[in-house]
Amino acid sequence: VGDLPSSEPLYYSDYLQLDRLLASQRLASAAGGQPVHDEMLFIIVHQAYELWFKQILWELDEVARLLAPARVAETAMLRMVARLERITEIQKLLIEQISVLETMTPLDFLEFRNFLIPASGFQSVQFRLIENRLGVRPEDRLKLAGNPYTAALSEDDRRRVEESETETSIFQLVEAWLERTPFLDFGDFHFWDIYRGAVKQLLEHDQRVVATNPNLSEPERQSQLASFTQTFALYEAVLDETKHKALVAAGERRLSHRAFQAALFINLYRDEPALQEPFRLLTLLMDIEQGFTTWRYRHALMTQRMIGRRVGTGGSAGAAYLTRSADRSRVFMDLFQLSTFMIPRSLLPPLPIEVERTMRFRFEEL
Ligand code: HEM
């Protein structure tokens, strides 16, 4: 048995560099001669966020590394899922932390807010790196007073953020990984034809329920029956690449057709052993998007409570800007749309035995 690697005995505060960390809370209000009590909380809460942002980036970087190879190994899948799960736990803290800051009242905030202008969380480089790493695109960004979102950054920070726009995002990596899903081509077995039949059966059943429902007035019945045409059209886009591309062009889908189909397939056959981890990965990506969107809305509500309808210290329209930004920063919207296209397990076509076999764990007998 070899020796475990070791080093000189460490001292707690040296290891954590507490001398630097704990000397990094400089109150802007102190410069005016009157340190405001609550500014310490304001600084510490922001610093705690930045530390967690650093950890999230650390995890996302590893997820990106693990997703990059042409063939993602099973162990890599497990590791990726563990990293993403950790991010979702951190996000719960990020959302909870807002109520700590809300123990500061708007009146307390007014005592030092003037010292902050034009600084703002809007200039958080790490937050922008997280967004870009996940896959927020330059064209999704809102302009602030006609300027790009990077305009308020120092030159070095701007360069870092702009560079991150050109790196492959988690969205792109997930899309490429979905496109490589091997189970979509089965030789003679045409899954999507069978799926079309199952959907038709499902919708015709729903149509019959509407047509024979005695509680509906005639105009209500006609309007509900008409909506089936739209639903059919949406399903057609799942099956037809050209129609899917039209939805992408209209900004209603982002994933490629093949990736969208693969994500749907993984959701439909999530009970197959080989699809359980991929399903977990897709679910966690939705959880993470939900976590950030929830944080954004929560932050916007806090902003409303703190500054009402005033503009932000960074110069935006304040809370109104933040809610719009929350909607524009969705990356994995396609995954949230998938449930429209789910069909009950009882209608799902059984997979051919060769496909089943490749999707079982190796030690299991068929
Ligand atoms: C009193 C507490 C806070 C208020 C009133 C507030 C207000 C605002 C406002 C008005 C904006 C829009 C940009 C601007 O005009 O400045 C903004 C952006 C932002 N804030 Fe806060 N904020 C607060 C606390 C925090 C905290 C604790 C964080 C954690 C890091 C944070 C992170 C951000 C981020 C990342 C943005 C950019 C969001 C985007 O562009 O979508 N804020 N904040």
Q: What pLDDT, on a 0 to 100 scale, did the predictor assign at position 1?
A: 60
Q: What pLDDT, on a 0 to 100 scale, did the predictor assign at position 276?
A: 93
How would you class 171 by CB atoms within 10 Å of its CB: exposed for 0-12, middle for 13-18, buried for 19 or more? buried
In the reported structure, the alpha carbon of residue 9 is separated from the centroid of ligand 1 by a whole-number distance in angstroms of 42
SS3 state of residue 186: strand
**Mutation to probe ligand 1, out of 128, 299, 301, 323 (largest number of atoms < 8 A from CB):** 299
Largest interatomic CA distance in the chain = 83
First to last CA, the chain: 41
Instruction: Check pLDDT > 60 for residue 23.
Output: yes
Q: Report, as an integer, the average pLDDT of 299-326.
A: 91
Q: For residue 353, how many C-alpha atoms fall within 13 Å in the half-sphere facing its CB?
A: 2
Neighbours of 100 (CB within 10 A): 12
* 241 within 8 A of 259, measured Cβ to Cβ: no
In the reported structure, the alpha carbon of residue 12 is separated from the centroid of ligand 1 by a whole-number distance in angstroms of 33
**Confidence category of residue 362, pLDDT binned at 50, 70, 90:** low
* 343 within 8 A of 199, measured Cβ to Cβ: yes
Q: Report, as an integer, the average pLDDT of 81-98.
A: 98
The pLDDT mean for the chain works out to 92
Instruction: Check pLDDT > 90 for residue 356.
Output: no
Instruction: Check pLDDT > 70 for residue 218.
Output: yes
Tell me the per-residue pLDDT of 282-291, one tens digit each, with 9 for 90 and over.
999 999 999 9
The DSSP result for 64-79, as a single string, is HHHH-SSS--HHHHHH
Share of the chain above pLDDT 90, in %: 70
Q: Which of 168, 163, 136, 182 is nearest to 67 (CA)?
A: 168
Instruction: Check pLDDT > 90 for residue 61.
Output: yes
Give the number of the atom of ligand 1 that is nearest the alpha carbon of residue 128. Answer: 35
Q: What pLDDT, on a 0 to 100 scale, did the predictor assign at position 260?
A: 96
**Cβ(316) – ligand 1 distance below 6 Å:** yes
* 153 within 8 A of 123, measured Cβ to Cβ: yes
Handedness of CA 354, 355, 361, 366 (dihedral sign): negative
In the reported structure, the alpha carbon of residue 314 is separated from the centroid of ligand 1 by a whole-number distance in angstroms of 8
In the reported structure, the alpha carbon of residue 181 is separated from the centroid of ligand 1 by a whole-number distance in angstroms of 40
Q: What pLDDT, on a 0 to 100 scale, did the predictor assign at position 351?
A: 82
Spatial CB neighbours of 130, under 8 Å, sequence gap ≥ 6: 53, 56, 57, 60
pTM beyond 0.85: the answer is yes
In the reported structure, the alpha carbon of residue 192 is separated from the centroid of ligand 1 by a whole-number distance in angstroms of 46
**Cβ(307) – ligand 1 distance below 6 Å:** yes
* 178 within 8 A of 254, measured Cβ to Cβ: no
**Cβ(122) – ligand 1 distance below 6 Å:** yes
Spatial CB neighbours of 322, under 8 Å, sequence gap ≥ 6: 296, 299, 300, 303, 316
Q: Report, as an integer, the average pLDDT of 192-199.
A: 85
Q: Report, as an integer, the average pLDDT of 249-254.
A: 96
Q: What pLDDT, on a 0 to 100 scale, did the predictor assign at position 366?
A: 46
CA gap 167, 164 in Å, rounded: 5
In the reported structure, the alpha carbon of residue 293 is separated from the centroid of ligand 1 by a whole-number distance in angstroms of 14
Q: Report, as an integer, the average pLDDT of 164-183.
A: 94
Cα three-residue angle 353-359-363, rounded to 5 degrees: 100
Give the number of the atom of ligand 1 that is nearest the alpha carbon of residue 321. Answer: 12
**Cβ(101) – ligand 1 distance below 6 Å:** yes
Instruction: Check pLDDT > 50 for residue 174.
Output: yes
Instruction: Check pLDDT > 50 for residue 22.
Output: yes
In the reported structure, the alpha carbon of residue 19 is separated from the centroid of ligand 1 by a whole-number distance in angstroms of 28
For residue 113, how far is the Cα from the chain centroid?
31
**Confidence category of residue 187, pLDDT binned at 50, 70, 90:** confident
Residue indicated by tokens 């110069």: 315
